[in-house]
């Protein structure tokens, strides 16, 4: 897979719609994704329960994202005049949800399991819109890894990019070299489904003012 050219048209469109916002996440990938599209980002790290509760994978991810945005809305930092986004991303394969690796050995196990295979990356976002309230968005993209040798996995682990990354890789950095192709929105894989957020925001506005 070739390196993703940034920013793309979707990022720029998002930056025009949300020139400034609160990002209720400590993810450097999400922050970079927004800033490269022109957003002015203020980070708030929510103190939220991230236990995986629910039946379907989508509902599990959505419940975590909702707890994160609610943690921001109920905090002293909440600003009702500024849009805010919180998100959670998990990888689904073989009926199992994979989050962030606990250590290097765990990251090695995850990347070995993903080698040469198709995975689902599920990202849910909780969005606060001033004057319009909260909305939830969930999107899924498929990521197909190329077959990886043990040496290639070790080389990638040595970059340290696996730390704090769902599935143990970061698409925006050198993680794209592990991937054969993506089916769906690449911003969903990075951790913020920008297209779905834009669509949901416009739909909410039309519902209120029609």
Give the active site residues: 88
Contact present, 23 and 41 (Cβ < 8 Å): yes
How far CA 133 is from CA of 21, 62, 91, 187, in Å, comes to: 14, 17, 29, 24
Give the pairing type, strands 133-145 and 118-129. antiparallel
Burial of residue 65 (CB within 10 Å: 0-12, 13-18, 19+) is buried
Q: Which of 195, 39, 206, 64 is nearest to 132 (CA)?
A: 206
């Amino acid at each position: 897979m070739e390196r993703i050219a940034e920013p793309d048209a979707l990022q720029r469109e998002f930056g025009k719609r949300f020139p400034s916002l609160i990002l209720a996440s400590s993810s450097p990938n999400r922050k970079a994704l927004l800033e490269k599209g022109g957003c002015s980002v203020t980070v708030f790290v929510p103190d939220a329960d991230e236990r995986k509760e629910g039946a379907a994978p989508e509902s599990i991810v959505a419940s975590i994202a909702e707890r994160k945005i609610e943690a921001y809305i109920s905090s002293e930092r909440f600003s009702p005049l500024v849009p805010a986004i919180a998100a959670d991303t998990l990888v689904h394969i073989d009926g199992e949800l994979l989050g962030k690796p606990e250590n290097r050995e765990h990251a090695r196990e995850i990347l070995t399991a993903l080698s040469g295979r198709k995975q689902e990356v599920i990202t849910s976002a909780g969005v606060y819109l001033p004057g319009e309230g909260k909305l939830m968005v969930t999107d899924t993209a498929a990521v197909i890894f190329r077959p990886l040798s043990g040496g290639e996995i070790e080389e990638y682990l040595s970059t340290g990019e696996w730390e704090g990354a769902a599935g143990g890789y970061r698409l925006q950095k050198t993680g794209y070299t592990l991937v054969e192709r993506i089916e769906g929105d690449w911003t969903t894989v990075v951790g913020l489904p920008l297209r779905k957020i834009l669509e949901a925001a416009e739909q909410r506005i039309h519902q209120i003012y029609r």
